[in-house]
Amino acid sequence: MKNITLLGATGSIGKSTLSVVDQHNDKFNIFALSANTNWEAMLELCHQYQPNYVVMTNEKAAEKLQAALNNDTQVLSGEQALCDIAVHQQTDYVMAAIVGAAGMASALAAAKAGKRIMLANKESLVLAGDIFMDAVKHSGAELIPVDSEHSAIFQCLQGGRSGLSKIQLTASGGPFLHTPLKELQSITPEEACAHPNWSMGRKISVDSATMMNKGLEVIEAYYLFSLKPEQIDVVMHPQSIIHSSVYYNDGSTLSQLGNPDMRSVISYAMAYPDRISSGVSPLDLTDNSPLEFYKPDLEKFACLRLAFEALKQGGNAMGTINAANEVAVDAFLNQTIGFLDIPHVIEQTLTQTQHVVLNNLDDIITSDQEARNLASQIVAEYA
């Protein structure tokens, strides 16, 4: 029996993780859960899973949950508590599924503690890739990607990486793949969140619509698989059936395919190196034909271009675009700025930020905060 700490339990990845756990009660036990503010949803989860610990990051939400609970679950609050349940001696596996930079510290704590980290929080690697990968190496942690593209590459590489020439991340293009650039400014949050293939949280849904999600994934792949930036390629594939591919120097290409449902990815991370059922229906290729592929349009999807630029710049550039993106997406979801202002805010933040090398976690946190402040000022000019 493996004890799981599930960080971000009330989110989209959190729910899919619980759905896999439900199918394998003999193998996995929910040891600890976390959420930000939604204590009512957490109360239901507590009744169902009887975890030893629950963290509500928000203190008020923790108080309300504690008052409503009548079992032995210990309710904690605050960011340090997230790290505490991630490194707890009784925890075997940590699902890092908090959204945004808020998920970094707890994912990193799990890495330092030598846990199996099932990493959905790609922002951790974008912000602190070098430190994160060092922590994994030194602690002997197992890092298993929970992102469909990176899981695909990870699965393709199980046979080794001899002759690897490049990897290719597939991108659905989100809801606006065929929408002309000039029509994008008037897009509403609801339209941006209506992803054609994947059901996800609102932030990553907007990231998919701008293709910043793919940009963050390029950086995630760079760290996860120790590649050079020029070995990472992106292809548009609207059906989201091929999840990503590895190209070899003998002309071979390996791809991983499946229906777009994160439970395949999550069950693989939980059972690795074995496979277990996930509840995802088997793929029928004839249901999805034709499979289409296009080159990405970097003018329309400026966020993808900016992410490649930040990766090449290195230092604080990657954390800067991540912070600016979080601020801009939040402003877009609150209808303060338009859809096409998102890449503008990110580009201006990147251009106005002094390029520095980051040596430690304090540097990363300071740089993240500075980028957020600057991006907020820029957003205020657009609003």
Under the rule (CB under 6 A), what is the footprint of ligand NAD?
8-14, 35-36, 38, 57, 97-99, 102, 120-123, 147, 198, 200-201, 203-204, 262
Considering the complex, what minimum distance in angstroms separates the CB of residue 90 from ligand NAD? 21
Q: Which residues of 188-227 are buried (b: 16+ CB within 10 A; e: fewer)?
A: ebeebbebebbebbbbbbbbbbbbbbbbbbbbbbbbbbeb
Task: Return the one option of Mg ion, ligand NAD, none that residue 43 interacts with (CB less than 5 to 8 A, by type).
Answer: none
Please enumerate, as own/partner, the contacts of 200-208 that have beta carbons within 8 Å and a separation of 24 or more: 200/12, 201/11, 201/12, 201/13, 201/99, 202/333, 203/99, 203/100, 203/326, 203/329, 203/330, 203/333, 204/12, 204/99, 205/174, 206/329, 206/332, 206/333, 206/342, 207/303, 207/325, 207/329, 208/172, 208/174
Considering beta carbons, is residue 149 or 341 the nearer one to Mg ion?
Answer: 149
| The one segment of 100-108, 145-153, 168-176, 240-248 that binds Mg ion by CB under 5 A | 145-153
Considering beta carbons, is residue 51 or 296 the nearer one to Mg ion?
Answer: 296
Q: Any contact of residue 261 with Mg ion (CB under 5 A)?
A: no
Considering the complex, what minimum distance in angstroms separates the CB of residue 160 from Mg ion? 24
Considering the complex, what minimum distance in angstroms separates the CB of residue 163 from ligand NAD? 28
Q: On the CB side of 62, how many CA atoms lie within 13 Å of its CA?
A: 19
Task: Return the one option of Mg ion, ligand NAD, none that residue 116 interacts with (CB less than 5 to 8 A, by type).
Answer: none
Considering the complex, what minimum distance in angstroms separates the CB of residue 266 from Mg ion? 13
Closest among 203, 195, 199, 190 to 175, alpha carbons compared: 195
Number of other residues whose CB lies within 10 A of the CB of residue 370:
18
Q: Which of 84, 123, 147, 341 binds Mg ion (CB under 5 A)?
A: 147
> Across the chain, which distance is largest between two alpha carbons, in Å?
63
Considering beta carbons, is residue 190 or 250 the nearer one to ligand NAD?
Answer: 190
Considering beta carbons, is residue 80 or 289 the nearer one to ligand NAD?
Answer: 80
Considering the complex, what minimum distance in angstroms separates the CB of residue 171 from Mg ion? 9
CA distance linking residue 246 with residue 319, whole number of Å:
27
Helix ranges (H only) for 32-93 are: 39-49, 59-68, 79-87
Considering beta carbons, is residue 34 or 148 the nearer one to Mg ion?
Answer: 148
Residue type, 181: L
Considering the complex, what minimum distance in angstroms separates the CB of residue 148 from ligand NAD? 6
Considering beta carbons, is residue 16 or 148 the nearer one to Mg ion?
Answer: 148
Considering beta carbons, is residue 73 or 348 the nearer one to ligand NAD?
Answer: 73
Considering the complex, what minimum distance in angstroms separates the CB of residue 8 from ligand NAD? 3
Q: Rule CB under 5 A: which residues touch Mg ion?
A: 147-149
